[in-house]
Every structure is written in structure tokens, then in C-alpha cells.
Amino acid sequence: MLKQRLKRIYFELIKAIFSANAPKLLIIGAQKCGTTSLHFYLTQHPSFGKGFRKEAHFFNREIYFGKTLDEYQSEFFGKSSKIYIDATPAYLYQPDTAKNIYDAYPDIKMIVLLRDPVKRTYSAWNHSRLRFESEGYVKTKKNMQRRKGDQLYEKFFQDRKIFPTFREAIEIELELMKDNAAYEPALLRRSLYLNQLEEYWKYFDKDQIKIIGFKEFVSDVKGTLKNIEEFVDVQPHHWNNLKDEPRNSGGYVEPIKDEDKVFLENYFRASTSKLFEVIGKVDW
């Protein structure tokens, strides 16, 4: 709590000295693919800047709750020479986001991290399970304003004493998908990457979106950061003192069951094949 208060005081001082800025780089997803770590590493570069929050959620949520573009840009107070980053992994998946971004910043550059869909799906379920165990999060989610079609709280959290097993959670989503009843919960659908990328390609040139595989990223962090420097055209950094510990990683109660792994491998086989046909094989 004290840390948050000090952070807020710090940003209020920054706002009093500097002007607001438009972000110049968006990390748009995917969820549970290393976006928090990438944001943490990039903002150690002197040319990059971060906003008040790592995830602003403006284009997928708060734009509908009355926040203006000027208010959004007030998240990014500081030197105007910096490249400010909004890293909101929900942007890749959630409805209407691509068009909302295009309407505001048609020339912006974006980064997408992709992970093996089986591993990403299981990690996303585990992430929700950990949140279920956090009483404060559940209370916040219960009272949070949500868009129509977001049934994550109702299906996974509401009136539950035990969080649904992985297979139960998958069955809940499959049932919703039959009637196209909701866009959340979306353990499976967030891992259907081609559908999401195609929505962005309706509005943006493909060279505005850099796609990085999760394994490629974690196995060569500095190499990935240098590639991003070239992508956004900033002065190369030496990265000698990079703090490269992973961020936002949670423990698993148990590994994924063999039968669930096989089910997901079969479920994602066709979509993965189509994805690789379009963008080439990804080291995820």
C-alpha cells in the first residue's frame, strides 16, 4: 500500500513538470506469453518510457467507460523524446480493439508475443486459479464494470468455493462457444492467434506488427531486445546491466494432465497449421 502511495506521489510530481505523451509502442498480447517481462526489460532502455500503469486497458475497455484520448495520454507523463509503451495483452483478443487503436494511432507499431497454445491455455487457467485464491481480487472483480459478453466472473468466480478444474473450465467455454454467447471466459479462444492477427491486418500493415515467439524471447532476451530496437528505430543500448529476472510468473499446483494435453493438441492443430502457413513457423 505504501509503495503504491509513493508511486502515485511520484507520478503526480512528474505530471506537474512534464506534459502528456501519446504512446509510440503497444505490446498487445498475447496473455500469459511474457508481456510483463518484455515491458520490464524494455523500460530499462533509456529511450523507452512507461506509463502510470503497465496495462492501460484504454482501447479494449475504458474507452467505453468515458475516458478521453487526452486522459489516456496523461498516463504517459515525461520527456517527449521517449518512446512510451502501453503493454496490455488483452488488446490482441478483445473485440473492437484493433479498430479503436487504428482510429487513434494509425501509424503506431505493435509487438505480439506468441506461446505454444497448449501451454498458454493451461497457464491462463492457472493464472485465474491463483486470482481465485486472492480474496481481494475476487471482491474487486465482483464490483468491476464489465462489458457485455464478459462472463469470466460469473462462470469462474461467482458463488464458488472451489475453482473449476482445467477440464471443467474448458467445458464451460466450449458450451459458451456453441451459441457465441460471450467472449469471456476465453482460455481456448485467446490461443487462436490467427483469427486475432487477421483482425489487426484489416487496419494495419503487417510490418507495423512484430511477432515474437515465447521460446525465442526467453532463450535470447538481449537478442530479442536488440531486434525490437531495430523495429522501432532507436539507438542501440548495451544492456550490460539488464535485470532479466522473469516477471509475473506463477506456480502450478500440478502439470497438465496427459489427456488434457492431447485434447488441446488436437483442438489447436488445424489453427496452428494455418497460422504457420501465413507467418512462418514461430519458436514458441
How far is 221 from 215, CA to CA, in rounded Å?
10
Q: How many residues does the chain have?
A: 284
Report yes or no on 167 lying in a domain: no
Instruction: List the CATH number of the domain containing 48.
Output: 3.40.50.300
Report yes or no on 243 lying in a domain: no
Residue 190 · residue 123 · CB < 8 Å = no
| pTM greater than 0.85 | yes
pLDDT of 239: 96
pLDDT of 1: 60
pLDDT of 192: 98
Confidence of residue 7 (pLDDT cuts 50, 70, 90): low
Q: What angle do CA 234, 92, 185 make, to 5 degrees?
A: 150
Between 142 and 201, the more confident residue is: 201
pLDDT mean over 85-111:
97
pLDDT mean over 170-192:
95
What value does the mean pLDDT of the chain take?
Answer: 93
> Is pLDDT of 11 > 70?
no
User: Taking the CA of residue 86 as centre, how many other CA atoms within 13 Å lie in the half-sphere pointing to its CB?
Assistant: 26
pLDDT mean over 108-120:
98
Report yes or no on 152 lying in a domain: no
pLDDT of 180: 85
Report yes or no on 177 lying in a domain: no
Report yes or no on 23 lying in a domain: yes
How far is 183 from 189, CA to CA, in rounded Å?
8
Range of the domain at 47: 2-116+192-232
pLDDT of 39: 98
Query: How many domains is the chain built from?
Result: 1
pLDDT mean over 133-160:
88
Between 28 and 245, the more confident residue is: 28
Listing DSSP states for 200-246 in one string gives: HHTTS-GGGEEEEEHHHHHH-HHHHHHHHHHHHT------TT-----
Report yes or no on 258 lying in a domain: no
Report yes or no on 124 lying in a domain: no
Report yes or no on 279 lying in a domain: no
Which of these ranges, 5-19, 51-65, 259-273, has the smallest mean pLDDT?
A: 5-19
pLDDT of 189: 98
